[in-house]
């Protein structure tokens, strides 16, 4: 799995061991959704692309996940879930693909339960270079600002390619 070490680090710093979680922008590999479902979490993965939904369902069928992973097509900027639905909401390498990242972060907090966590990992400048993405020096600072508006800081980490943020939803 791509960036397995990063995923392990993110889960470790989140302190999460179980629960009902949402993975926003799961991608065609469904990597973070599968990573979490295989570790006992009850996962819903969403992506705006029908192709990504089709491919990630196919990928998931290779594992015996016993109903612990549901995959749906949905827009991160308008999540089709009631308020306070998930113990934690993840976005791994997906925020930089979303048009209105501020709206997506707002939605992530809305569907997260009170006291739950919003768990984000995305590429910092060096990571963007490694993944051959256009530079955007301001992107992670913008993400940090949106997160601060919505919740309380819990933890932060930096890996070779990622900046990771964990925030708690207080109210
Ligand atoms: C790089 S992939 C995600 C990688 C994956 N999360 C992982 O764990 O490696 C980015 C995904 O974000 C999805 N995406 C972009 N805009 C979106 C939106 N508004 N709502 C949901 N998904 C979106 C894209 O379709 C794409 O599949």
Q: Within the chain, how many helices (H) and strands (E) appear?
A: 6, 7
| Angle (deg, nearest 10), helices 139-150 and 101-111 | 30
Beta bridge partners of 70: 44
Residue 122 Cα to ligand 1 midpoint, Å, equals 11
| pTM of the model as a whole | 0.97
> Is residue 170 scored above 90 in pLDDT?
yes
- Strands 152-158, 112-123: pairing kind: unpaired
pLDDT category of residue 159 using cuts at 50, 70 and 90? very high
Write the pLDDT tens digit of every residue in 45-61: 999 999 999 999 999 99
Q: Please state, in angstroms and as integers, the Cα–Cα distance from residue 127 to each residue in 24, 28, 32, 131, 134, following that order.
A: 20, 20, 18, 6, 11
pLDDT at 137: 82
Q: Is 32 in the pocket of ligand 1 (CB under 6 A)?
A: yes
Q: Is 43 in the pocket of ligand 1 (CB under 6 A)?
A: no
Structure tokens at 26: 């799961």
Write the pLDDT tens digit of every residue in 123-156: 999 999 999 998 888 999 999 999 999 999 999 9
What residue owns the CA closest to ligand 1's atom 13? Answer: 25
Write the pLDDT tens digit of every residue in 5-43: 999 999 999 999 999 999 999 999 999 999 999 999 999
Q: Is 93 in the pocket of ligand 1 (CB under 6 A)?
A: yes
- From 28, 47, 93, 105, give the residue whose CB has the most ligand 1 atoms within 8 Å, as the site to mutate: 47
Structural domains of the chain, ranges and CATH numbers in brackets: 4-168 (3.40.50.150)
Residue 69 Cα to ligand 1 midpoint, Å, equals 17
Residue 155 Cα to ligand 1 midpoint, Å, equals 23
């Amino acid at each position: 799995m791509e960036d397995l070490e990063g995923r392990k680090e993110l889960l470790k710093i989140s302190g999460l061991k179980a629960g009902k979680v949402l993975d926003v922008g799961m991608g065609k590999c469904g990597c973070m959704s599968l990573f979490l479902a295989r570790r006992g979490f009850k996962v819903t993965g969403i992506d705006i692309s029908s192709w990504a939904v089709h491919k990630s369902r196919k990928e998931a069928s290779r594992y015996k996940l016993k109903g612990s992973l549901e995959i749906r097509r949905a827009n991160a900027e308008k999540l089709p879930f009631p308020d306070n639905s998930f113990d934690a909401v993840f976005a791994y390498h997906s925020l930089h693909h979303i048009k209105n990242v501020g709206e997506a972060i707002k939605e992530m907090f809305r569907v997260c339960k009170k006291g739950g966590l919003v768990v984000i990992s995305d590429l910092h400048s060096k990571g963007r270079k490694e993944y051959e993405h256009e530079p955007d020096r301001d992107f992670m600072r913008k993400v940090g600002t949106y997160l601060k508006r919505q919740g309380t800081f819990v933890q932060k980490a930096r890996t070779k390619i990622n900046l990771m943020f964990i925030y708690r939803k207080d109210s």
